[in-house]
Each structure stands twice: as structure tokens, then as C-alpha cells.
Amino acid sequence: MSMASSFQRRGEDAAMTEAAADALIRDHAGRAYWEARRKSWDADSEAKSQFWGRVAMRIFLKSARRFG
């Protein structure tokens, strides 16, 4: 895997994480973080669990900036 494709993959993952965080915030408002954590705990693979963990962290950071 080349360095360029590695950066592209990271960028795509970041965009997917951001989109999932925004969707959960839109759909679940103040419970978005806990919904992402629930998805992480209930995931059927380590990769999905890690993805939803990153989404939860992104929601946490967005919330901290909004209220902090």
C-alpha cells in the first residue's frame, strides 16, 4: 500500500466518522454519545467496534466545544 493510498483511506475513514457522528447528533441529540457507545459494545466485529468508538469520541469532542 502506498503512502498516498494510506492517506486517502484515513481521509475517507475520517469523513465516514464525521458523517456518522453528525447523523447520531441529529437523530439522538443529547443521547448521541451513548448511542455510539451502545453501537460500539454491540458491534459484531472489532473493526466495527473501533469505528463506533471513534464516532463516540468525535461526538464527545463536538459536545465539549459546544458547551465548553
Specify the pLDDT at position 12: 85
* Cα angle 31, 63, 47; round to 5: 70
Q: Where are the domains of the chain?
A: 15-67
Q: Residues 63, 33: contact at Cβ < 8 Å?
A: yes
9 pLDDT band, cuts 50/70/90, is confident
Specify the pLDDT at position 4: 60
User: 11 vs 1, which has greater pLDDT?
Assistant: 11
- Is the pTM higher than 0.85? The answer reads no
Dig out the grid coordinates for 21 from the structure.
457522528
Q: How does pLDDT run across 31-66, given as a tens digit for each residue?
A: 999 999 999 999 999 999 999 999 999 999 998 876
What letters, b where the CB count within 10 A reaches 16 and e where it falls short, cover 2-16?
A: eeeeeeeeeeeeeee
